[in-house]
Structure 1
Amino acid sequence: MRLLLTTDAVGGVWQYSLDLAGALAEQGVETVLVQLGPPPSAAQRAEARAIAGVTFIESGLPLDWLSDGPAPVLTAGAEVSRLARLHGVDLVQLNMPTLAAAASPGVPVLAVTHGCVSTWWQHARPGVSLDPGFHWHRALTEQGLRAADRVVAPSAGYAEVIRGYYTLPTLPTVVHNGRAPLVTPKGEPVQDFVLTVGRLWDSVKGAELLDAVAAELSVPFHAAGAATGPHGETARLENLHLLGQLDSPALAHRLAARPVFVSAACFEPFGLAVLEAAAAGCALVLADIPVFRELWGDVALFVPPRDAAAYRATIERLIGDLGLRRMLGDAAADHARRYTPVRMADAMLPLYRQLLAERAPAGKVAA
């Protein structure tokens, strides 16, 4: 089997794509990995090229959420189709569903929805109508979702959000993301500190709320990730200890101390950073949202998403109770074993095979 898989080097889709391509390679699938958006770093480039069975292409094509209108995205979809034909792939997996609006590769197309501007807006600005400047993105996303032969979401919670928002006739298939552990839990938590990881500039991640929490904690609160976004978005953070963007070895070093890990995200289609922390044996304090309940319901402490006092009290409870902290961390690490790249690939392969057997034309989802 030969697969064209799109990716980008900006967010979690990058790690998702590499983990999936690596796990698929072990089952004999060759992947043409097409990167869109800003160029990868040297380390990312080397990481992609090191995966056996992967052909890595830096396309220079745009990301939809960094574009000002539909034309560049439609052009990108057409170019991805050209690359699919050029490399003789059997099917295409688009990790940016808008590309499917113009894709015509002559083979089945599967679209994975990791998030979109419109559903993000719904949670970032509840009760506020979508900015007219993003209407084109909403329309293109709906076209792409309906044009794909199969739509996949990384959680049941987000699958329901997507079906409801875009009134899809079929619920997206749920395939949970997978991630190899960055570090194996060893013994007791060794340091008393708190950690959050993510796009700190993104208002739905709750970094400014956690900054207020950090001001009154008895222990340091570290935050890894970009504080400034691609359009100049900036979070005002005065109390969090900012670590900047951490590569995998640097993050593994932090996680090895088994800090209390916190996510205050009010919107999250999956949350790879939470999985990385759980696999390392960190006790989890999470926003009480449906996706986190779905994924971590029995092994985390949940807090109302916008309640700073509740976050502070829950964190201090864990800092003061090493036994509870260790128990929750061990439970999270055990639970994280169900979200691995191998399991993710094992769930995707039957979908690929079904599409190949059907040889379904684009548009079946909308039929």
Structure 2
Amino acid sequence: MGDSRMKVLMTTDTVGGVWTYSIELCRALIEHGVEVHLAAMGAWPTQGQQEEASRLPNVILYKSDYKLEWMQDPWEDLEKAHKWITSIYQTVHPDVVHFNNYAHIENFWSCPVVTVFHSCVQTWWQAVKGTAAPVSWDRYTGIVKDSLNASDVVVSPTESLLKNAVNTHKISSHTEVIHNGRDLRFSEEKKKENIILCMGRIWDEAKNLKALSGIAKKLPWPVYIAGNNVNPGTGAKVEIENVHFLGELSPEEAKNIMQRAAIFASPTKYEPFGLAILEAASAGCALALSNIDTLIELWGTTAAFFDPENPVETEKKIMELIEDQEYRKRMALKSTKKSREYNLRKMGAEYASLYKRLIISRKTDLNRLSQSL
């Protein structure tokens, strides 16, 4: 990788969707000659994650299990992670630092810093609980705000999320929207079946799957949920009439069920982007989505929207897709067409362009400074 034109130090999160985003972005940056030094935190990367990274010729993976800023009592780990990232910086001398989390910016760094606002506890709490997070989260919130405002650019995957982030954290840095991208390849076409697919853990308040499970027995089609139905705290299992829990699926298993499902439903209360929704649309599912700002922004007239707090309306919108085959097929075609707008090539090109603009701007600023001295 010695002939790479640009080096990026990028952080990633191994315990959530940020990992998928990071790997896909690294893949998209190959054609732009970008070498990525990928620093993984949150939990030690799984064997599968390490293999994913090793298959990308432009990626060097740095492994750790340092806690992320939103985890319980992370402060000691944040200090260690800060030193670790700084040591990588001093070894690599990157042209750009790209953060997918918060808390580690150092004042003496000479290169520009991009921070992507994927989500945060405060915006989650506002959407799910309807109020600000408790004061016990104030230290965390201060770290997020400081990190965002110390960045040269804050990127968000949607305008709606960015607006919320700016209002919540009083962001003064330059901001941009770059949509996430995904290119799924299907080895064969599968016939659609009369099933409704959802994704997420039944205990996740943001995913709000309990709202859908409440109407499942009234629906003529079975509901399949890809995700865990075991309470992580008590070990108790949830069983719901007309709901089939599939557990945690591999990427290939998820693609298979998406290809088979005629409808993908998401009653979420908080969704910064929704890679699973994008994947389902790519697989030809008709979309039934909660009417939150981010999803309306992304999917517009290509999805059937419902109020996730209103079970009667939720049932009605899903039943319209079930009962009207032509409408369902039409919506599926529209969502599939829309999904092609959120592709890897576009995401990679926009990030590469942003990096280049920042590098040029930083060099210009340094030249002006040297001339004034």
**Aligned match of 2:259:** 256
**Counterpart code for 1:208:** K
Question: Could you list the per-position Cα deviations for residues 142-167 of structure 1 after superposition, in whole angstroms to 9, with x for gaps in the alignment?
Answer: 01001111110010000000000111
Describe the shift of the 1:227–1:3 C-alpha distance in structure 2 as closer, same or farther (beyond 3 A): farther
**Which whole-Å CA distance do the structure 1 matches of 2:173 and 2:234 have between them?**
37
> Matches of residues 22-61 of structure 1 in structure 2 within 5 Å?
22-61=27-66
Stretches of structure 1 that go unaligned for 5 or more consecutive residues are 362-367
Shift in Å at residue 180 of structure 1? Answer: 1.0
Letter in 1 for 2:216: A
Is 1:150 aligned to 2:158, yes or no?
Answer: no
- Within 1, Cα distance between the matches of 2:301 and 2:103? 35
Among 100, 119, 122, which residue is 1:115 paired with? 119
Shift in CA distance, 88/230, structure 1 to aligned 2, threshold 3 Å: farther
**1:291-344 per-position Cα deviation (integer Å, ceiling 9, x unaligned):** 111100020000012111222222122122221111111111111111011110
SS at match of 1:180: coil
Could you tell me whether the CA contact under 8 Å between 1:185 and 1:333 is conserved in 2? no
1:176-325 to structure 2, matched below 5 A, reads 176-183=179-186, 186=189, 190-227=192-229, 238-239=240-241, 240-325=243-328
Residue 343 in structure 1 maps to residue 346 in structure 2: yes
**Which has the larger Rg?**
2
Query: Structure 1 vs Structure 2: percent identity of aligned residues?
Result: 31
Bigger Cα displacement from structure 2, 48-57 vs 168-177: 168-177
Kindly report the root-mean-square deviation, in angstroms, between the aligned alpha carbons of the 2 structures.
2.3
Equivalent pair of 1:70/1:136 in contact (CA under 8 Å) = no
Question: Which amino acid is 1:242 matched to?
Answer: F
Q: Secondary structure at the residue paired with 2:44?
A: coil
Partner letter of residue 190 of structure 1? Answer: K
Is contact 1:185-1:280 (8 Å) kept? no
Is there any run of 5+ residues in structure 2 with no aligned partner, and where? 1-5, 366-373
Residues 74, 142 of structure 1: CA spacing in aligned structure 2 closer, same or farther, 3 A cutoff? farther
Structure 1 outlier segments of 4+, above 4 Å: 184-187, 227-237
- Measured in 2, the distance between the counterparts of 1:112 and 1:256 equals 31
How far apart in 1 are the matches of 2:262 and 2:237?
A: 23
- State the Cα distance separating 1:60 from its structure 2 match: 2.4
TM superposition score normalised by structure 1: 0.91
Tell me: CA distance 1:227–1:120, structure 2 relative to 1, closer, same or farther (3 Å). Answer: farther
Count of paired positions:
358
Aligned to 1:365: none
Structure with bigger RCO (C-alpha 8 Å, 6+ apart) = 1
Equivalent in the alignment of 1:364:
none
Query: Which amino acid letter does the alignment assign opposite residue 81 of structure 2?
Result: A
Instruction: Report deviation, 1:202.
Output: 1.9
Equivalent position of 2:361 in the other structure: 358
Alpha-carbon offset, residue 104 of structure 1: 4.9
Q: Shift of the alpha carbon at 1:250?
A: 0.2
Q: Evaluate the alpha carbon distance shift between residue 24 and residue 257 of structure 1 in structure 2; reply closer, same or farther with a 3 A threshold.
A: same
User: What TM-score results when the alignment is normalised by the length of structure 2?
Assistant: 0.90
Distance 1:106 1:82, change over 3 A: farther
Partner residue in 1 for 2:368: none
C-alpha displacement of 1:44:
1.8
In structure 1, the residue matched to 2:81 is: 76
Comparing 156-165 with 26-35, greater Cα deviation is found at 26-35
Partners in 2 of 1:266 and 1:276 — Cα distance?
A: 19
The 8 Å contact of residues 69 and 102 in structure 2, kept in 1 or not, is answered as no
Structure 1 residues 33, 212: CA separation in 2 closer, same or farther (over 3 Å shift)? Answer: same
Q: 2:128 aligns with which of 124, 127, 144?
A: 124
Partner residue in 2 for 1:65 = 70
